[in-house]
Structures are given as structure tokens and as C-alpha cells.
Amino acid sequence: MWKPIIITITLMCSAFDAYITSRQRAVLSRPNPPPVLATELSQDAFSKSQAYGRAKVSFSLWNTAYSQVLNVLFVIYDVLPRLWGIAGAMTVHAPARFSGEKSQSVVFLLVMLLAQHLLDLFPAWYSTFRLEAAFGFNKQTLGLWITDMLKSNLLVCVLLPPVVAGFLAIMQQAGDRFLFYVWLFIAVLQAFLITVYPIFILPLFNKLTPLENGPLKDKIEALAKSRNFPLDELLVIDGSKRSSHSNAYFSGLPWKKHIVLFDTLIEQSTQDEIVAVLAHELGHWELGHTIRLFLIAQVSCTCTHTHIYIYLANFALQAQIMFILVPYWLFFTTASMYRAFGFVDERPPIVGLVLFFDLLLPLQMVMKVTINRITRMYEFDADAFANRLGYAPDLARALIRLQIKNLSSMDVDRWYAVCNYSHPHLTERLKSLGWKPNKEDTPVVPAAEKEADTAIATGKDEHGKR
């Protein structure tokens, strides 16, 4: 009876998701921009952003449907116990050191991730080389795309075994104190990843160079100094290698921070706008958002391409929360659950974790909505901070410019935003920044520039992380 429950839950969740997405599709079919942006946008730029938004939404609907069909087939055909068996067969003749449950779990996860990866290959290729390319955003060559993929898979192979081994060791030895030790383990893992990410992982994918001397550097340094921000290095990242998506973020340890600017941001914005964006980021730091949302901030601001990091960090984020660990513990101890999925004699904890995450879908949705709500609140706070420092007009102009260059949706359905947006929509931010559309003013992006197809987009999300 567990099987139908899991299938029903997943299907209900995707149906809900599809409904919300279709609401957004309706917004993306509107003929005119919202009044606050009317003077900033040419009709042509608006229509193009609507078309791009619709293309992305349709793709996401198809992609969800595809993965749901796969999910259901996985459950019906007992793919997990089969994979577990395969992993067992692969490790049974291995030397004693490499056999046993830990090795079997590692091989199981690697085989499962590989299978998932292969099944996702076509949608991923389509998104980059068809959808993004059709709107002139993709900057990746097929060669770079493949090398990125190989590198991230290699990273998974290196990082996964010790993590799985650690998790299983805790499961075996911690007994009743499992919750506490797993939480501790995840917290340490998190701190470790955040420390090694900029030093070892990021350079595998991108090149960082110090920002050259000049007025931009002076302005940023002056801003950092005025807020006592422990700025160690000011770097530029070659984001243009993959897409023209623009961004800026902080990284590093609490006492030694780096500011990283995307080369695309420098190319697309004026210096004052860049400084205003950093004033907003500094707001996150000074108001303690980065510490309070330690992980979320790191994930949302630093990751634009490395799947592995997102995967691990997401896992950590999900699992860190006790109300997920508690039900997992209950699940793990429920023999009938395992039996229903074809595990009669054994209850491998790793398989339980995989199954459990399926069952958790509605809970994950609730969590996402909650976290979105918190991050949106923080975004408003950081905007207000930049406003207090006198950067409101430049920040507003920067946001408008990036929105247009990104062809991000100019309008949003309320419920779609609640479920999916970690940042408030541009129109809301402009309102809270006190931006007044002024017909006499020149638009932020002049008409000639609007036509130039400079835009952006990684396809990852459209409400840029700023």
C-alpha cells in the first residue's frame, strides 16, 4: 500500500506545480507591460521577454511531465531494489576493504546518479542549445558543455564516497542519538564545502582575475571601507564563457571576504549601478542575512553552474532541518515501507533516503515556500539598506537594466511568485525603492541598446540573484 501512496503524492505535487505554472503562462501572454515599466520598455523588448518566458515555462511543463513518468516507472518496476542488487553484485567480489554495505551504498548511488544523468541529458541539451540559443543567450560550445559535465561527475565520484561512508557510520553507531550526530555531520560538511568551493571547485570551471585599478575599484573599496566590510580581494569572474547572465556575490570566510563581479555585469552596467548592486549585497552582510541564512545565501548567490555543489548543498539544506530528519528516522524504522518497495531481508539506509525524498515532496514544497518568503523579506531589507545609503535611484536603474537585458519576466502571477521566486519581482522592488516612472527621463536602457541582443540567461532561473 506504500507504493500507491508515493505515486499519488508525487503526481499530486506535479499536478499542483503544473497548475501554478499554467497561471504564469497566462501572465506571459499579456499584451502590455505593467504600468511601472511601461516607459522603460519598448513593445518589441516586452514581446520578446514574454516569448522567452513562455518558451521557458512550456519547457518546464514538459520536463516535469517527463520526469514524473520516469518516477512512476521507477516505482512500478522496482528499479531501486534492482539497482541495489546490481550494486551488490558489483561489490561482492571486491577485496574485503571494498565490499560490504558502505561500498554497496556508494556504488548504488553512483549508478543511480549516472542513470538519472543519462535520462536528463536530452532535456539539459535542449534547454541550453535549443531554448537558450534561440533567444541568443547561450555562449557555451558543445565541447565546454561536455567538459563541464565530465568535471562535475568526477567531483561527485570524489566527494560522494566519504560522505556516504560518514553517514552510514553514524547510522550504525549513533543509535538513539542519530539525529544529533547527523545534524552535526551535515553542519561540518556544509562548512567544509563552503570553504573548499571557492578554492578548489570554482577554479575548475571558471577563471577569476583581480579587478583592474581604476574608478570602479576605488568606488567599491570606498564603499566597503565605509561599512567596515573585511574586503580582502576584488575579483572578476569569466561568466561570459557560458552565458551573458550577470551577477555579483561575496565569498570567503567571515573575516576575509572576496567580492566577485561577473564580467558580464561590468560590461552591461554603469559603474554607479554596479556599486549600488554591491550596496545591496553589503546590506545582506551587514544585516546578518548571510549568517542567518548561511547556506541559502551561499547556494543562491554563488552557484550558477556547478550541479554537484548545488546537489550537495541542497541535500545538506534539506537534511539539516530536524523535522526532516525525524520523519526519516521513522521511515527508516518502518519495515513495511521497505517491503513494499521490494526489500524483504534488508533495509539499506541509503535507499531509504532516496525513497524518503520522494515521499517528502509536499514537505519540500512547503519548505521552499517558507524559505522563499524569508529570502524575499531579506531582499527588501537589503534594498532598504542600499536606499538608506543613497543608492536607490542607481539600484533601481541597475535592476531595470538587468531585467531587460535578461529578458526576465516583466510581470508575474502572484501564486507562481509565492511558490517559485526567492527574490521579489522587479515591480515590487521598484515600488519599495520609491521608483517613479518618468516620461521625461531617458529610459534606463536606450531604445538602440534595447534592440541589441545582448541578453543573458542561464536558463536556471529568471529572477536574477542580486
Q: At what angle do helices 307-320 and 142-173 cross, to 10 degrees?
A: 30
**Gap between the Cα atoms of 326 and 372, Å rounded:** 23
- The x, y and z cell numbers of residue 452, run together, are 541589441
272 labelled catalytic: no
Name the minimum Å distance from CB 217 to Zn ion. Answer: 22
39-to-52, 272, 425 alpha-carbon distances in Å: 21, 22, 18
Query: 109 or 295, CB closer to Zn ion?
Result: 295
Query: 101 or 379, CB closer to Zn ion?
Result: 379
Find the part of the chain contacting Zn ion (CB under 5 A) among 108-116, 270-278, 378-386, 414-422. 378-386
**Gap between the Cα atoms of 432 and 387, Å rounded:** 10
From the candidates 383, 394, 413, 428, which is the catalytic residue?
383
Name the minimum Å distance from CB 422 to Zn ion. Answer: 9
- The x, y and z cell numbers of residue 51, run together, are 516569448
Query: 17 or 379, CB closer to Zn ion?
Result: 379
Name the minimum Å distance from CB 226 to Zn ion. Answer: 19
212-to-148, 345, 454 alpha-carbon distances in Å: 28, 63, 24
Find the part of the chain contacting Zn ion (CB under 5 A) among 33-41, 119-127, 355-363, 371-379. 371-379
**Gap between the Cα atoms of 414 and 20, Å rounded:** 10
Please give the sequence-ordered ranges of beta strands (E in DSSP) within 127-226, or none if there are none. Answer: 208-210
Query: 316 or 382, CB closer to Zn ion?
Result: 382
- Near Zn ion in 80-109, by CB under 5 A: none
Name the minimum Å distance from CB 239 to Zn ion. Answer: 17
**Gap between the Cα atoms of 51 and 48, Å rounded:** 5
Site string for Zn ion, 379-398 (x = CB under 5 A): x--x----------------
HSE-up (13 A, CA, CB side) for residue 198: 22
Query: 249 or 341, CB closer to Zn ion?
Result: 249
Give exposure, 413-451, as e/b (b: 16+ Cβ within 10 Å).
beebbebbbbbbbbbbbbeebebeeeeeeebbbeeeebe
Task: Assess contact for 243 and 405: CB atoms under 8 A.
Answer: no
Name the minimum Å distance from CB 382 to Zn ion. Answer: 5
- Near Zn ion in 238-267, by CB under 5 A: none
Name the minimum Å distance from CB 404 to Zn ion. Answer: 19
383 labelled catalytic: yes
Task: Assess contact for 236 and 209: CB atoms under 8 A.
Answer: yes
From the candidates 101, 148, 273, 281, which is the catalytic residue?
281
Beta bridge pairs of residue 115: none
Query: 132 or 379, CB closer to Zn ion?
Result: 379
**CA angle centred on 115, ends 112 and 120, rounded to 5°:** 125
Name the minimum Å distance from CB 300 to Zn ion. Answer: 8
Find the part of the chain contacting Zn ion (CB under 5 A) among 103-111, 234-242, 374-382, 447-455. 374-382
DSSP state letters, 85-125: HHHHHHHHTS-GGG-SHHHHHHHHHHHHHHHHHHHHHHHHH
Find the part of the chain contacting Zn ion (CB under 5 A) among 220-228, 239-247, 252-260, 376-384. 376-384
One-letter amino acid at 277 equals V
Query: 273 or 379, CB closer to Zn ion?
Result: 379
Residues 6+ apart with CB under 8 A from 424: 376, 379, 380, 417, 432
Name the minimum Å distance from CB 90 to Zn ion. Answer: 45
Find the part of the chain contacting Zn ion (CB under 5 A) among 51-59, 123-131, 303-311, 375-383. 375-383
Instruction: State the number of binding residues for Zn ion (CB under 5 A).
Output: 2
Query: 241 or 460, CB closer to Zn ion?
Result: 460
Which residues are identified as catalytic? 281, 383
Q: What does the binding site for Zn ion look like in residue numbers (CB under 5 A)? A: 379, 382
